Structure 1
Amino acid sequence: MDFLVNPQITKVEPPFWFFGMKNPELQLMFYGPQISEFEVSTNFDCITKIVKTENPNYLFITINTHKLTESILPFYFKKEQEIVFIQKYEFKKRRENSANRKGFDAADVVYLIMPDRFANGNDQNNSSENTTEKYNRDLPAGRHGGDIEGIIKNLDYIQSLGATAIWSTPLCEDNDADFSYHTYAQSDVYKIDPRYGSNADYLRLAQEMHQRNLKLIMDYVTNHWGITHWMIQDLPTPEWIHQFKEYTETHHKRSVINDIHASQKDLEICLKGWFVPSMPDLNLENPLVLNYIKQNAIWWIEFADLDGFRVDTYNYSEPQAMANWTKAITAEYPNFNIVGEIWMPQTAQIAYWQKDSQIGALRQYNSNLPTVMDFPLMEAISKAFNEGYSNGDTGVMRLYDHFSNDFLYPNSNNILIFGENHDTQRLNQLFGNDIRKYKLTMTLLATVRGIPQLYYGSEIGMDGDKNNGDADIRKDFPGGWPNDPQNAFIASGRTEQQNQYFDFTSQLFNWRKTNNAIHSGKMTHYIPENNLYVYFRYTATQTVMVLLNNQDELQSITTQRFAENIQHYSLGRDILSNQLIDITHQILLEPKSSLILELA
């Protein structure tokens, strides 16, 4: 009998594991026709639990990996005490110092890419035999062919922009019949979508990025899978997902989670209702499911050498289960960063979800989540720079009022800040393509507390109207396809206006890399007057003064008001023009403009 030939098992997940993890327990899933009918044993006396579910095609075996001394572990599948076949399982060596990898932080600038719309580096994988939706660039919401190779080929462009990290929307396989380019309805979470490339390509992306000192952030989805996921098609147990007698969709009202007055019915629908009909809701209260996605996340960190996660719809799942998921990752990687999408309108509701929040503690809850997304700031930006000065609540006063709530955060410097993303209205659309308002926004993002995130294409003035559908805010980057009439990845291929956008953004964020006061300094801001906002970032050795004139008129600013921060300084170096400016009495500011001064 040839024990190496094994038609009985079609999948083993995780497909391999790693020596030296802190958590000794590893839950292995074996999948194949009637696989649970077999008795299983192995060497080293390492099996601690065997779980058989209602579906005989699954077998879950937990082992203690700390008992292993060899890299290949054989599993003996038996019937009536006779070995029918052997399934070998491999353990790989971890990278040196893997557990201490440093995640992204406030010294970074994150560049957000939708890979299908960024660049097509390999037109041989535009479609694949094993996925349903085919290449059709003529269809706005279709597959356009952007891929991992396209990102790799344009890393120099991203780096020249001043970005230090890349967050790509999900790259794992999504086999929906249409709209699959967004890839949030995944059909295999251990496999890169073949239209983007392969697992090996994803690893190569990480390697190419690390050679340039760039960090790779994976977009991870814990709340749901796609309806076409192979496990959804053959559920291990009906309780793998949340199911109601009739299809029930979440009401998306996330405030019920921490609402002391919320009804249990509203809470149940909030957490267990499906996001949309094509995205079944995972039941993370089932230990098999929670262990599966914990291990899947850790597997990707080790395999692809990741630097962070952005977690989609973080607070759509059971809060305690998510806290356990996050804790499992940060226990293995104490310096790894995870940012959760908490799309809520008020700072208090966002702050509830950050690790060690005192607001969360009022409900005996700690999310363990290091970083949250500052959606209230995004909302303030979308209004502030479109408003003149009419009363005390409009214009840049919105920004002042927003930052005055930072006391609610346990760590206000570890927050992702942005003006837009792949789900929102494009900034340049909101601003009517007024580059002055774009510059004001980028100046703000580059200089306040937190981790700035830029959305691909805005740095060359790309716009798009969400009212025309999501495809309009996710247009193809010009030059990402061989036959594009224009290549905006290079200066000579950009229009004069596009270069104005790019040059400003590049200069600003490349400067940001050099200034520790911006990365980790304190912030003092002053109540805006006449739609002009002034604030300082400073350490013991560096001070940066930022002025935002949101009024459509020239303004002269008397600096005596800011003496507590200006102190003994008499000059400020304009970081864009490199000119020295006397700050002892007055500073002139052009209409709708900003000024960043390194004080000297």
Structure 2
Amino acid sequence: MKLKLFLFLMLWGSLVQAQIQKTEPPFWWSGMNNPELQIMFYGKNIAQYDIVVDKSVTVTGIIKTENPNYVFVNLKTEGLPTGDYKIDFKRNGKIAFSHNYELKDRRENSALRKGFDASDVMYLIMPDRFANGDPGNDAHPSVTEKPNREYPGGRHGGDIQGIIDNLDYLNDLGVTAIWNTPMLEDNDPRYSYHTYAQSDVYRIDPRYGTNEDYKRLAAEMHKRDMKLVMDYVTNHWGAEHWMIKDLPAYDWINQFPGYENSNYRMTTQYDPNVAQRDLMYCVDGWFVKSMPDLNQRNPLVLNYLTQNAIWWIEYADLDGFRVDTYSYNDKEGIAKWTKSIMDEYPNFNIVGEVWMHDQAQISYWQKDSPIGAIQSFNSYLPSVMDFTLHNALMVIFDEELATWDKGMIKAYENFVNDFLYADIDNILVFAGNHDTGRINEIYDNDLNKYQLAITLVLTTRGIPQLYYGDEIGMRGEKDKGDGDIRRDFPGGWEGDTNNAFSSAGRDELQESYHSFTKTLLNYRKNKEVLHFGKLLQYLPEDNVYVYFRYNDKDRVMVVLNNNPEAQELDLRRYAEGLNGFKGGKEILSNRQIDLKSTLKIEGKSPMVIELN
């Protein structure tokens, strides 16, 4: 009899545990600005139960979909203290099983956290390709793809520990913020290293580490006054996502029915003459077949994404988001998502990937855009990426014979259009990223051209972003595939013969790149005039571009000579920028410069002069 009772209890216990397979968010916090919380419970036929929540909690709705394996419970958390709250699942009036849902304490001043801004320099890392700090997690039984360093498109083993191990290298370089490409679980059987086809958005991919490791990364960065930026994907998940395999509702993803690819024509989002079919194929079409497109018009989807984003900010103590494929989302849905986050964290920052080639079209997506206002649209997105400047940086330093539209005039003309942006200081400027050709490949490891490009990125308006390895001359050819522009950072793996993380391990060329970048980054770090100062630019002459950054206290003169020959500038032309100063310190060479009449600059070289 005792044995039968024991077996019955064991069986009953296993059935109870099996009823709830997922609870998301897994916990929440008291004292959030938005008092509404929606908890999703997932389990076999879980919708058949009646749900009764602790009497101290106000339930504002229980939502069931056509899939009986899901139920969504809406609660009010306003005024609730921290602790566990019992949620009973009943059948025929009797409790079948219960779940204790926890509300935690928030960090002090969590809502007022300050995001990245133009005082920062952001360093973009592909975690799988940066450093392998824990070879023990290179493979994991819960995910499919195993490491293979010989395969450019496969897992190589870089992880969170590898980033933590090299934070001092980045801090010494002058980096103040890190943007990692996504780290959430991606169980695609191949090409999972980029982690943009996510399979569980509440779990760090175990080949990078654990959720606790990710939180530890943020803590270690904050000890060094560095900021952590998460790459967040609102537009799509991966085909291996557990919810895609058992959709809560048919319209959780965009279906035609089934799969149709995006036409990638983001201009349809604001084309006043657009054919609705073309707009639909942009917004609802899938980015690729392995990435089902999420339907933000479904309020359950939008709320799920919003809460997930806030959960990660609160849990990991994040300082910002970079949002992938921002302008492929349903624009009204993504605007609501963005506003919800910024309402919760008013000093936070979010930069959206708006990969377009026209400043007006990019500007449309920034908060309070004068272009968006024409159509009464506000994205609430604080920051966008300056892809037009990137386009110029990829070609201008090979254009040595300046013409009406070639050479440094392309940089000048880019900034002419700054009037289109609502917040010009909150623009991300960059020479390259994980999707573009590497600048040192494009310019064939010409150090002079690199110096010109990076000087422009680090001294113009906006938030500079570097791509990992550019500071040591890393190369990679886009035409050979994405794996080639995402090579392993030398020294990040045990047994690497070249360790570029240390001065002793860098070869002569790597050290030349690194020394220049470090000098300029560390100068910029404490120069408010380069963060938020005004920009005054002069039309280039003889392929020499001169501009000033200035405020009430400081003034910096930047000279970029894209001409292969040395040039002598008549400084009378620059009297407005010089503002009466007769000399200055040239930062890159650490020497005093006379600015009384003329200035000589060597061919293919930059100068950064702090006027004094």
Residue in structure 1 matched with residue 556 of structure 2 by the alignment:
544
The residue type paired with residue 457 of structure 2 is: L
Does residue 115 of structure 1 match 2:151?
no
The aligned counterpart of 2:181 is 169
Task: Describe the superposition over 1:369-401 as per-residue Cα deviations: whole angstroms up to 9, x where unpaired.
Answer: 000000010001111111012411100000000
Give the Å deviation of 1:6.
Answer: 2.9
Whether 2:107 is the aligned partner of 1:87: answer no
| C-alpha distance in structure 2 between counterparts of 1:287 and 1:277, whole Å | 24
**How many angstroms apart in 2 are the aligned matches of 1:71 and 1:3?**
24
In the other structure, the counterpart of 2:4 is: none
CA contact (8 A) 1:387 1:394 kept: yes
2:149 to 137, 144, 152: 137
Equivalent position of 1:426 in the other structure: 438
* Aligned equivalent of 2:193, options 167, 171, 181: 181
For the residue of structure 2 that corresponds to 1:404, the secondary structure is helix
| Contact 2:402/2:408 (8 A) holds in 1 | no
Equivalent residue of 1:68, what SS? coil
Counterpart position of 1:516: 528
Q: Deviations over 1:539-577 (max 9, x none)?
A: 011000000000000100111111112122111101122
- Measure how far apart 1:45 and its partner are: 4.2
* CA distance, structure 1, for counterparts of residue 460 and residue 517 of structure 2: 16
Q: 1:501-544 CA distances to partner (integer Å, 9 max, x unpaired)?
A: 00000010110011111111101000100100000000011000
Structure 2: gaps (5+ residues): 1-8
Out of 24, 40, 44, the residue aligned to residue 13 of structure 1 is 24
**1:246 Cα deviation (Å)?**
5.2
- Is 2:587 the counterpart of 1:575? yes
Contact 1:77 / 1:85 at 8 angstroms: preserved in 2? yes
Whether 1:322 aligns to 2:334 is yes
Whether contact under 8 Å (1:46, 1:67) holds in the other structure is no
- For 1:390 and 1:66, the matched residues in 2 are separated by 63
Distance 1:527 1:57, change over 3 A: same
1:28 aligns with 2:28: no
Q: What is the one-letter code of the residue matched to 1:42?
A: V
| Alignment match, 2:577 | 565
Moved more, 43-52 or 546-555: 43-52
* Structure 2: distance between partners of 1:480 and 1:70: 42
- 1:488, 1:494 within 8 Å by CA — same for their partners in 2? yes
How much has 1:67 moved relative to structure 2?
4.8
- How many angstroms apart in 2 are the aligned matches of 1:548 and 1:489? 29
Q: Secondary structure at the match of 1:135?
A: coil
* AA of the residue aligned to 1:11: K
Q: Secondary structure at the match of 2:425?
A: coil
Give SS of 1:6's match: helix
Residue 35 of structure 2 aligns with an amino acid whose one-letter code is P
1:451 and 1:156 map into 2 onto residues whose CA distance is 21
The CA deviation string for residues 286-305 of structure 1, in whole angstroms up to 9 with x for no partner, is 00000000000000000000
What secondary structure, in the 3-state scheme, does the structure 1 residue paired with 2:17 have? coil
**Partners of 1:335 and 1:246 in 2: how far apart?**
40
Q: Report the alpha carbon displacement of residue 471 of structure 1 after superposing the two structures with TM.
A: 0.5
Residue 140 of structure 1 and its aligned partner are, at CA, apart by: 1.2
2:424 match: secondary structure = coil
- The code of the aligned residue for 1:267 comes to L
2:53 is matched with: 42
The answer (yes or no) to whether the contact 1:6–1:87 under 8 Å persists in 2 is no
Which whole-Å CA distance do the structure 2 matches of 1:106 and 1:471 have between them? 30
Shift of 1:247: 2.5
Tell me, in whole angstroms, the C-alpha distance in 2 between the residues paired with 1:513 and 1:82.
63
Task: Give the fraction of aligned pairs with identical amino acids, expressed as a percent.
Answer: 56
Partner of 1:530 in structure 2? 542
Mapping 1:376-395, distance limit 5 Å: 376-395=388-407
In the alignment, is the contact (CA less than 8 A) between 1:71 and 1:91 conserved in 2? yes
Aligned residue in 2 for 1:64: 76
- 1:390-421: CA deviation from partner (whole Å, max 9, x where unpaired): 41110000000010000000011100000100
Task: Write the mapping of 1:165-564 to structure 2, written as runs, cut at 5 A.
Answer: 165-245=177-257, 247-564=259-576
- Structure 2: distance between partners of 1:227 and 1:38: 30
Deviations 1:58-104 (A, max 9, x none): 00000001152351110011011111111110011000000000000
Q: How many residue pairs end up in the alignment?
A: 600
Q: CA RMSD in A?
A: 1.1
TM-fit CA distance, 1:486: 1.2
Unaligned runs of 5+ in 1: none
Q: Tell me whether 108-117 or 65-74 shows the greater mean CA deviation.
A: 65-74
Distance apart, 1:245 and its partner CA: 3.0
Task: Measure, in 2, the Cα distance between the counterparts of 1:269 and 1:477.
Answer: 38
